[in-house]
Amino acid sequence: MTKIKERVLQVSDYYKVKKEKFFEELKLSYANFKGIQKNSALSSDAIDIILSKYPNISAEWLVTGRGSMLKENLLYHPSSSTENRVADPAMNVFKLKTDQIMMKQAVPLYDIQASASIVSLFRDSNSEKPVDHISIPNLPKCDGAIYVSGDSMYPLLKSGDIIMYKKLSSSIDNIFWGEMYLVSLVNDDGDEFVMVKWVQKSEKGENYIKLVSENRHHQPKDFHLKNIKGLALIKASVRVNSMY
């Protein structure tokens, strides 16, 4: 059984973050995770900081060492047996209980930089020609896929990752609060933005939603529903780590 501080180091290894930067972002001292200090206890405040920064990490695993490092909302490598599944960090799947798993589907991959607006994907995807198709077994039903740009959802999503989404009506009744969405919106100046965010309830009232980033350096922002032109629930993500 590994020590809790050894498991924290495994988190750094999993996300491929250099130790110095990893502990700097957590505002913890790397020296307390070396040598004899590695065997000392970890405060509850430090555990809370780690789980807030890396929400995909299982709290039970981090505290007790039992179970898997990652929460069970991750897609496992299909070649692994039921008894010996190994989480594949390149593929995450975010499933709801109502999702219908598709044994095989070809999800169209769109290049939104070449599109006049991603809003057209929400209205009529047939008007946009995909650049390719992605086929991953046992995914929930998806309407399309696009490349991520920016670092607002880092480290969960990095620029260049591919996200697969399911279109939804922008009605507030159809929102699953706390889930990750692809959001198309227009601000009061008429500027159009497309972003991936956690969607939460806003303190401003039921006609507003709060868009929250995974990256703690990005501040949450509230928007009126009239500014939201399209919503799509993120169902899965793919990360390609090329060695050459």
135-171 pLDDT, tens digit each:
877 788 888 898 888 889 988 898 889 999 988 876 7
Q: Using alpha carbons, select from 238, 234, 172, 159 the residue that is nearest to residue 200.
A: 172
96-143 pLDDT, tens digit each:
545 555 556 788 888 766 444 455 666 555 566 788 888 877 788 888
**Cα–Cα dist 165/68, whole Å:** 26
227-244 pLDDT, tens digit each:
888 888 998 888 877 655
What is the longest distance spanned by two Cα atoms in the chain?
A: 62
